[in-house]
Amino acid sequence: MFKSVLSSLLENGRAVSLALFALMLAVAATAAPARALDVDVSEYTLDNGMKVFVIPDHRAPVVTHMVWVRVGSADEELGKSGIAHYLEHLLFKGTKRLKPGEFSKIIRQNGGEDNAFTSYDFTAYFERIAPDRLELVMDLGADRFANAVFDDRDIKTELEVVKEERRSRTDNNPAALLREQLSAAAYTAHTYGRPVIGWMSEVEKLAAVDAQAFYQKYYTPANAALVVAGDVDPEEVLELAKKYYGKLKNDVPAPKRVRTQEPAPIAAKRVEMSDPRVASPSIARKYLVPGVNQAPPGVSATLDVLGQVLGSGSSSYLYTELVIRQKVASQVSSWHNGDTLDGGEISISLSPAPGVDVKAAEEALDAALHKLFKEGVSEDRVTRAQNQLVASNVYAIDSQFRLAYIFGAAFAIGQSVEETLGWTNRIKQVTAEQVSDAAREYLKLRNSATGVLVPAPSKAANASSN
């Protein structure tokens, strides 16, 4: 459902005076972890098992309403990749009461905006609107959750839209194709190795019956949460939630999310791709690490600090070593994402400096990591990383959307409000020794997959013609 943007066209134009670039989220949201502190979160459970989270934010007359479902692309059956995302599109195509597109039209007519997003572990739908319209949105949201209809003709047209989305996001972009290949290589068994949008060969075969089955299995109230942030009173939100979402029935029990677990990695993986559309080489690497649900206590926070120390910003370890000291890279960055139902990842991305061989750059990266294993991470770096992570919480609460997102995503992967709010403290407790040990333990090559993207020797036709 996402808007592509005119940004490349308007490069540095004044499109901002228009409401053109409304809201941008990737199909696969892999935002860095940043959880809120000092926020009041009210949590309720409706009789049907649906969770309700309310986060008051009275700074503006706006409310953000989200419905989070505990299902994502990693829950898809073999051969049906892309169905979670396709279903998300189809839920804008009408219900027993609403015609295709009417949901969004009503939201617009009430001065609101709406959209949705799908990731590996969750699917979420949101509306942003004036607080006095919240009841309307809940009525519509509950209807969509239970009464979607899948009309044959609309379904076919929408499948074409999804295929165009895949072409835009992935097939037209060699770096995106490499990322897809890298994930596929990194996971031996787990479904995190499949793209959220699905393989084209499977997407084009998706049918109404697949969407219907997926919807019936996963869209049950006990498998979902309502998140409301904004200029509202929690008790009033709860009453409305009871009135609309409370009436939804669990026709089937909330499905168990049983997924194939990734076996402990024993071999480094590697993919190499050359493409005439590549301007300059690049390296992408990911290490499979335990996610927040599997990691021993404190380890996920340690890995957050490690990701920050390694490659967040121009004073990070890898940037200092490879860009500033050795000048073998133009850019390098790294991040940790452990906010997952199953395993997490530490990712590194690197652009070799002009004239530097991609192989030499990769060797320099490995040498820099070895040096870090040997010498350990300095106290000073760890303290700075902790400061930045803790501050990122404060920056996050400036955004109402982000606030709602944080608690919705936590619900989707089974993290409690307390665990979410306790993140700041866990970050503060991490020691330099723990970070050094975690680097040695988790950044072993056998835990990794490395992707190398290089220009193809002969370039495609560049000629401009009519």
Give the residue numbers marked as catalytic: 88
> Shortest gap between Cβ of 273 and other proteins (angstroms)?
14
Which residue shows structure tokens 């991040």? 335
> Shortest gap between Cβ of 100 and other proteins (angstroms)?
8
**Which of 66, 159, 382, 453 forms a contact with other proteins (CB under 8 A)?**
159
**Which of 76, 88, 121, 165 forms a contact with other proteins (CB under 8 A)?**
165
Residue 12 vs 256, nearer CB to other proteins: 12
Binding residues for other proteins restricted to 236-275, rule: CB under 8 A: 244, 247-249
Binding piece for other proteins, criterion CB under 8 A, among 14-22, 259-267, 299-307, 442-450: 14-22
> Shortest gap between Cβ of 256 and other proteins (angstroms)?
24
Signed CA dihedral, 146, 166, 345, 329: sign only: negative
The reply to whether 322 sits near other proteins by the rule CB under 8 A is no
Binding piece for other proteins, criterion CB under 8 A, among 8-16, 68-76, 293-301, 339-347: 8-16
Task: Give the full edge-to-edge strand order of the sheet including 51-56.
Answer: 42-45, 51-56, 224-230, 63-69, 123-129, 113-118
Cα→Cα distances 146→91, 117, 218, Å: 10, 18, 11
> Shortest gap between Cβ of 341 and other proteins (angstroms)?
28
**Which of 58, 359, 371, 446 forms a contact with other proteins (CB under 8 A)?**
58
**Which of 260, 261, 274, 314 forms a contact with other proteins (CB under 8 A)?**
314
Cα→Cα distances 335→29, 58, 346, 423, Å: 14, 32, 6, 17
Alpha helices of 204-350 — where are they, by DSSP H?
Answer: 208-218, 234-244, 299-311, 317-318
Supply 449's token pair. Answer: 């997959």
**Which of 60, 209, 252, 267 forms a contact with other proteins (CB under 8 A)?**
60
# residues contacting other proteins (CB under 8 A): 105
The reply to whether 11 sits near other proteins by the rule CB under 8 A is yes
Binding residues for other proteins restricted to 129-148, rule: CB under 8 A: 129-130, 133, 135-136, 139-140, 143, 146-147
> Shortest gap between Cβ of 279 and other proteins (angstroms)?
4
Residue 108 vs 370, nearer CB to other proteins: 108
**Residues 259 and 192: beta-carbon distance below 8 Å:** no
**Which of 24, 26, 161, 267 forms a contact with other proteins (CB under 8 A)?**
161
**Which of 250, 387, 416, 425 forms a contact with other proteins (CB under 8 A)?**
387
Residue 230 vs 344, nearer CB to other proteins: 230
Which residue shows structure tokens 């990266």? 365
Which x/- pattern, by CB under 8 A, does the window 94-113 give for other proteins? --xxx-xx--xxx-xxxxxx
Supply 304's token pair. Answer: 């957050």
Binding piece for other proteins, criterion CB under 8 A, among 258-266, 348-356, 422-430, 439-447: 348-356
Residue 58's SS3 state is coil
**Which of 254, 278, 417, 445 forms a contact with other proteins (CB under 8 A)?**
278
* Residue 398: closest CA among 27, 39, 29: 39
> Shortest gap between Cβ of 445 and other proteins (angstroms)?
27
**Separation CA 252–CA 250 (nearest Å):** 5
282-289/344-352 β-pairing: antiparallel
- What lies within 8 Å, CB to CB, of 81 at 6+ separation is 73, 194, 195, 198, 199, 202, 203
**Residues 377 and 256: beta-carbon distance below 8 Å:** no
